[in-house]
Structure formats: structure tokens, C-alpha cells
Amino acid sequence: MQLTHYPLCPHSRSIRLALGELRLDAALVEEKPWTWRPEFLSVNPAGDLPVLDTGSGTPICGAYAISEYLADIRADHTGDGHGPPLFPGDPDERAEVRRLVAWFHNKCDREVTREFLYEKYYAQASGQGRHAPDSENLRALTSNLRYHLRYVGFLADHRRWLAGEELSFADLAAAGHLSILDYLGLIAWDDHPAARSWYVRMKSRPAFQPLLADHLPGWTPPTHYSDLDF
């Protein structure tokens, strides 16, 4: 398999984590999301990342479709050493997983991650020249980030994992976003101890280690980024 991704794309990171948890190998091909290359648009007209090429049919576009595909191909392997199910539990529990996946990949992305990425990294990396971040927008984004971290903390305080008793794709989606915000040095972890405890557990999983090795030109992550016990 081949995954077209970008290292600072939260949707891509969630699928990289899912592949790691399910012990599935995929070659990584980097695509800069701001270029809108015709060759990539011919594969996914929406222009969204990630895209999974299984080598056996039409490429699978977007984190939602890919996560459901991976859950389907691993459905018969639960408990045999091939990793945890992405959508565990009964129909109600799986619905809660999907609700939280939408929370992070839609709401958190719209209110926090996407805008921070543009202000802090994408605007400059895309060759738009020197970009002066909008201070008022940054204040609003910081407030939104605190809101989402409090929600993660609330979930972590009341459940073993974010959606319930088992690790699920909800945890991987959340980690995809928070790992990027952490890479950019935007999270005051000391103010959110419950969210921090959950994130420490996520960072300690083998599937997370490739994310901690990501380093983008022109941006050095904080020293605690790759520290498993920060």
C-alpha cells in the first residue's frame, strides 16, 4: 500500500497512527497540500489528504473512508496480534467513536488546527513570502484550543480512552490534531493535566514513534515534543 500524506496534516497523521496500530505497512509519499497539483487532483479531485492506494482498485480518499476501509480489512483479525479494532464495541459505542472522530476532524480542525497551521507554518512554507500572523485571530484560536483541551481532559477523566474502555480511532484522530499543535509549541500542558496524561499514554505507543521523528524545514519542535515522559 501507499499513503499520500503531509507530515503536518492531522488527517494524515490519524491514518499513519491507524496503520501503525494495525501493523500494516504502507510506503509514504509526501504531497504539499497548498500546491493543488493537477496530477494529485486527478487522483482526488477534492484535493484532500490523505489518499491510500491499496494497489487493487480505486484509491481511497480521506481519513474517514480510509479508517472504515482499514477497520473492514482487519475485522476478522481482532485479538490475533494484528492490533486493536478502530471502531470497537456495540453499535452505540461505535457511534460514539464516530461522533468524536467528527469532533476532531471537523470541529477541532475548523476551529483550531487548520487556522493555526496556516498562521504558523503553511503561509510561509507555501512561498507566500513573509507572513505577519493576525494577532486577533491567534487570540481567538488560543481560546478555542483551550476549550478543546478541556474537553479532551473531561473525556480522559471519565473514560479509560476518549470514546470508552478501548482505544479507538477517536483517540487516533485526537492525537493527530494535538500532536501537530504540540509540534508547533502551542499547548500549555501544565494547564491541562488530564489531557496531558492521556497524551503521554498515546505518545508511548509504538505506532506514535514515527510521528515524533517528523521534522519540517524551517521549524524546530519544542524539546518536549519527542519526550515520552514530559
Cα 80 to Cα 23, 46, 76, 83: the distances in Å are 12, 36, 9, 8
Bridge partners (DSSP) listed for residue 2: 27, 53
**What whole-number distance in Å separates Cα of residue 153 and Cα of residue 138?**
22
Closest to 160 in 3D by CA, of 208, 194, 188: 194
Q: Is pLDDT larger for residue 25 or for residue 82?
A: 25
All domains of the chain in start order, with CATH: 91-206 (1.20.1050.10)
Backbone angles phi, psi at 89, to 5 degrees: 95, -170
Backbone angles phi, psi at 2, to 5 degrees: -135, 130
* Span 82-99, pLDDT tens digits: 668 999 999 999 999 999
Mean pLDDT of the chain: 93
**What whole-number distance in Å separates Cα of residue 152 and Cα of residue 196?**
9
**What whole-number distance in Å separates Cα of residue 120 and Cα of residue 139?**
13
By residue count, the chain amounts to 230
**pTM of the predicted structure, to 2 decimals:** 0.94
The 3-state secondary structure of 178-226 reads HHHHHHCCCCCHHHCHHHHHHHHHHHCCHHHHHHHCCCECCECCCHHHH
* Residue 78 clears pLDDT 70, i.e. is over it: no
* Residue 46 clears pLDDT 70, i.e. is over it: yes
Closest to 192 in 3D by CA, of 208, 205, 174: 174
Q: What is the pLDDT of residue 71?
A: 95
* Span 152-188, pLDDT tens digits: 999 999 999 999 999 999 999 999 999 999 999 999 9
**What is the 8-class DSSP label of residue 132?**
-
